[in-house]
Amino acid sequence: MRRPFQVGDRIELGEVKGDVIDIRLFQTTLLEIGNWVEADQSTGRIVHVPNSAVFKRENFNYSRGFEFIWNELKILITFESDWKRAEEILLEHGAEEAEEREKVVRSKINHMTKRYMIHYGQLTPIVYVDIKDSGVALSLRYLTEARKRRTTQDTLCRAILDDFDKEEKLNFAYPTYRIVMNEQPSLRP
Protein backbone atom coordinates (compact mmCIF):
# COMPACT_ATOMS: atom_id res chain seq x y z
CA MET A 1 0.00 0.00 0.00
CA ARG A 2 1.12 3.56 -0.65
CA ARG A 3 2.00 5.48 2.44
CA PRO A 4 0.78 9.07 2.17
CA PHE A 5 3.10 10.18 4.99
CA GLN A 6 5.92 9.04 7.25
CA VAL A 7 7.36 10.05 10.61
CA GLY A 8 8.71 13.58 10.38
CA ASP A 9 6.25 14.77 7.72
CA ARG A 10 4.02 17.79 8.32
CA ILE A 11 0.49 16.76 7.40
CA GLU A 12 -3.14 17.77 7.63
CA LEU A 13 -5.80 15.10 8.09
CA GLY A 14 -9.27 16.62 7.95
CA GLU A 15 -9.32 19.30 10.64
CA VAL A 16 -6.04 18.30 12.32
CA LYS A 17 -2.60 19.60 11.31
CA GLY A 18 0.71 18.55 12.76
CA ASP A 19 4.05 16.84 12.52
CA VAL A 20 3.91 13.04 12.44
CA ILE A 21 5.76 11.71 15.47
CA ASP A 22 4.55 8.08 15.49
CA ILE A 23 2.72 5.66 13.19
CA ARG A 24 1.13 2.53 14.63
CA LEU A 25 -1.14 -0.11 13.16
CA PHE A 26 -4.38 1.64 14.16
CA GLN A 27 -3.39 5.25 14.77
CA THR A 28 -1.01 8.02 13.78
CA THR A 29 0.25 10.45 16.40
CA LEU A 30 0.82 14.12 15.55
CA LEU A 31 2.37 17.03 17.38
CA GLU A 32 -0.39 19.54 16.63
CA ILE A 33 0.29 22.84 14.87
CA GLY A 34 -2.02 25.77 14.25
CA ASN A 35 -5.43 25.68 15.91
CA TRP A 36 -5.26 28.61 18.37
CA VAL A 37 -1.58 29.26 17.62
CA GLU A 38 -0.76 31.47 14.63
CA ALA A 39 1.22 30.53 11.53
CA ASP A 40 1.52 26.77 11.87
CA GLN A 41 3.53 26.67 15.05
CA SER A 42 3.25 23.89 17.62
CA THR A 43 0.49 24.00 20.23
CA GLY A 44 2.30 21.39 22.31
CA ARG A 45 -0.67 19.01 22.16
CA ILE A 46 -0.33 15.41 21.05
CA VAL A 47 -3.17 14.27 18.77
CA HIS A 48 -3.95 10.63 18.02
CA VAL A 49 -5.72 10.17 14.69
CA PRO A 50 -7.21 6.81 13.73
CA ASN A 51 -5.59 5.51 10.55
CA SER A 52 -9.04 4.96 9.10
CA ALA A 53 -9.21 8.78 8.72
CA VAL A 54 -6.75 8.48 5.84
CA PHE A 55 -9.46 6.71 3.83
CA LYS A 56 -12.35 8.90 4.99
CA ARG A 57 -10.90 12.40 4.88
CA GLU A 58 -8.66 14.40 2.60
CA ASN A 59 -5.04 14.46 3.67
CA PHE A 60 -2.33 16.95 2.83
CA ASN A 61 1.41 16.44 3.07
CA TYR A 62 3.52 19.58 3.37
CA SER A 63 6.81 17.69 3.42
CA ARG A 64 6.79 14.88 0.89
CA GLY A 65 8.49 15.61 -2.42
CA PHE A 66 8.34 19.39 -2.19
CA GLU A 67 8.66 20.92 1.27
CA PHE A 68 8.01 24.46 0.09
CA ILE A 69 4.67 26.25 0.17
CA TRP A 70 3.41 29.51 -1.26
CA ASN A 71 2.78 32.11 1.40
CA GLU A 72 1.24 35.55 1.05
CA LEU A 73 2.07 38.64 3.06
CA LYS A 74 -0.76 41.14 2.72
CA ILE A 75 -0.57 44.83 3.50
CA LEU A 76 -3.05 47.66 3.02
CA ILE A 77 -1.85 51.18 2.30
CA THR A 78 -3.81 54.42 1.88
CA PHE A 79 -5.00 55.58 -1.53
CA GLU A 80 -2.70 58.59 -1.16
CA SER A 81 0.38 56.39 -0.69
CA ASP A 82 2.89 55.67 -3.44
CA TRP A 83 1.75 52.09 -4.11
CA LYS A 84 4.41 51.56 -6.77
CA ARG A 85 7.16 52.32 -4.24
CA ALA A 86 5.49 49.96 -1.77
CA GLU A 87 5.46 47.26 -4.45
CA GLU A 88 9.19 47.81 -5.08
CA ILE A 89 9.98 47.42 -1.38
CA LEU A 90 7.97 44.20 -1.13
CA LEU A 91 9.64 42.73 -4.21
CA GLU A 92 13.13 43.71 -3.02
CA HIS A 93 12.70 41.91 0.28
CA GLY A 94 10.90 38.97 -1.29
CA ALA A 95 13.76 38.53 -3.79
CA GLU A 96 16.37 38.69 -1.01
CA GLU A 97 14.52 35.98 0.90
CA ALA A 98 14.09 33.78 -2.20
CA GLU A 99 17.67 34.14 -3.42
CA GLU A 100 19.03 31.76 -0.77
CA ARG A 101 16.82 28.87 -1.76
CA GLU A 102 16.26 29.33 -5.51
CA LYS A 103 18.64 26.54 -6.62
CA VAL A 104 17.15 24.08 -4.13
CA VAL A 105 13.60 24.97 -5.16
CA ARG A 106 14.39 24.59 -8.87
CA SER A 107 15.99 21.21 -8.24
CA LYS A 108 12.99 20.00 -6.21
CA ILE A 109 10.56 21.25 -8.87
CA ASN A 110 12.48 19.43 -11.60
CA HIS A 111 12.34 16.25 -9.54
CA MET A 112 8.60 16.67 -8.89
CA THR A 113 7.74 17.20 -12.55
CA LYS A 114 9.12 13.75 -13.30
CA ARG A 115 6.68 12.19 -10.84
CA TYR A 116 3.66 14.52 -10.96
CA MET A 117 2.07 16.74 -13.56
CA ILE A 118 3.19 19.89 -11.73
CA HIS A 119 4.67 22.82 -13.59
CA TYR A 120 5.42 26.18 -12.03
CA GLY A 121 6.20 28.95 -14.47
CA GLN A 122 7.36 31.49 -11.93
CA LEU A 123 9.16 30.67 -8.71
CA THR A 124 10.26 34.20 -7.87
CA PRO A 125 8.20 36.41 -5.58
CA ILE A 126 5.40 38.45 -7.13
CA VAL A 127 3.21 41.25 -5.83
CA TYR A 128 -0.50 41.38 -6.62
CA VAL A 129 -2.36 44.69 -6.33
CA ASP A 130 -6.02 45.07 -5.44
CA ILE A 131 -8.27 48.04 -4.70
CA LYS A 132 -10.20 47.76 -1.43
CA ASP A 133 -12.67 50.01 0.36
CA SER A 134 -10.01 51.34 2.73
CA GLY A 135 -6.98 51.55 0.43
CA VAL A 136 -4.66 49.66 -1.91
CA ALA A 137 -3.99 46.03 -0.96
CA LEU A 138 -0.62 44.55 -1.88
CA SER A 139 0.01 40.82 -1.55
CA LEU A 140 3.58 39.53 -1.69
CA ARG A 141 3.45 35.89 -2.81
CA TYR A 142 6.63 33.92 -2.17
CA LEU A 143 7.88 30.38 -1.62
CA THR A 144 9.01 29.36 1.84
CA GLU A 145 9.74 26.14 3.65
CA ALA A 146 6.56 24.87 5.29
CA ARG A 147 8.22 24.67 8.69
CA LYS A 148 9.72 28.17 8.42
CA ARG A 149 6.63 30.07 7.29
CA ARG A 150 6.32 32.12 10.46
CA THR A 151 9.99 33.02 10.82
CA THR A 152 10.25 33.96 7.14
CA GLN A 153 7.16 36.15 7.41
CA ASP A 154 8.51 37.74 10.60
CA THR A 155 11.81 38.58 8.88
CA LEU A 156 10.02 40.06 5.88
CA CYS A 157 7.60 42.10 8.02
CA ARG A 158 10.42 43.62 10.10
CA ALA A 159 12.39 44.62 7.00
CA ILE A 160 9.32 46.02 5.26
CA LEU A 161 8.29 48.00 8.34
CA ASP A 162 11.79 49.49 8.57
CA ASP A 163 11.70 50.55 4.92
CA PHE A 164 8.15 51.90 5.09
CA ASP A 165 9.18 53.98 8.10
CA LYS A 166 11.78 55.72 5.91
CA GLU A 167 9.23 56.65 3.22
CA GLU A 168 7.12 59.78 3.62
CA LYS A 169 4.59 58.73 1.00
CA LEU A 170 3.77 55.32 2.45
CA ASN A 171 1.09 54.96 5.10
CA PHE A 172 -0.75 51.89 6.24
CA ALA A 173 -4.51 52.00 5.85
CA TYR A 174 -7.17 50.61 8.12
CA PRO A 175 -10.94 50.52 7.94
CA THR A 176 -12.47 53.84 8.95
CA TYR A 177 -15.99 55.10 9.30
CA ARG A 178 -17.25 58.63 8.85
CA ILE A 179 -20.35 59.87 10.56
CA VAL A 180 -21.93 62.86 8.91
CA MET A 181 -24.45 64.79 10.91
CA ASN A 182 -26.98 66.68 8.84
CA GLU A 183 -28.56 69.55 10.67
CA GLN A 184 -32.27 69.77 10.20
CA PRO A 185 -33.52 73.18 9.16
CA SER A 186 -35.35 74.93 11.90
CA LEU A 187 -39.12 75.34 11.49
CA ARG A 188 -39.14 78.40 13.69
CA PRO A 189 -38.61 81.86 12.23
Instruction: Based on the fold, state whether residues 44 and 107 are members of the same structural domain.
Output: no
Kindly state whether residue 130 falls inside one of the protein's structural domains.
yes
Kindly state whether residue 4 falls inside one of the protein's structural domains.
no
CATH number of the domain residue 93 falls in? 3.30.70.100
Instruction: Based on the fold, state whether residues 54 and 90 are members of the same structural domain.
Output: no
Place 189 in a pLDDT band, splitting at 50, 70 and 90: low
Instruction: Based on the fold, state whether residues 147 and 85 are members of the same structural domain.
Output: yes
**Taking residues 42-46, what's their average pLDDT?**
93
Whole-structure pTM value:
0.77
Kindly state whether residue 2 falls inside one of the protein's structural domains.
no
Kindly state whether residue 98 falls inside one of the protein's structural domains.
yes
- Among 96, 100, 91, smallest CA distance to 140 is for 91
pLDDT digits (tens, 9 = 90+) for 57-70: 888 888 877 788 88
Instruction: Based on the fold, state whether residues 40 and 111 are members of the same structural domain.
Output: no
Instruction: Based on the fold, state whether residues 54 and 112 are members of the same structural domain.
Output: no
Kindly state whether residue 173 falls inside one of the protein's structural domains.
no
Would you give the DSSP letter of residue 16? E
Kindly state whether residue 141 falls inside one of the protein's structural domains.
yes
Q: Output the DSSP codes for 36-71.
A: TSSTT-EEEEEEEEETTHHHHS-EEESSSS--EEEE
Domain residue limits at 55: 10-61
Kindly state whether residue 159 falls inside one of the protein's structural domains.
yes
Kindly state whether residue 176 falls inside one of the protein's structural domains.
no
pLDDT at residue 53, rounded to an integer: 87
Instruction: Based on the fold, state whether residues 129 and 84 are members of the same structural domain.
Output: yes
Residue-averaged pLDDT of the chain = 88
Between CA 45 and CA 146 the distance in angstroms is 19
Instruction: Based on the fold, state whether residues 103 and 148 are members of the same structural domain.
Output: yes
Helix (H) or strand (E) holding 158: helix 149-166
**Taking residues 94-99, what's their average pLDDT?**
90
Question: Does residue 1 carry a pLDDT above 60?
Answer: no
CATH number of the domain residue 54 falls in? 2.30.30
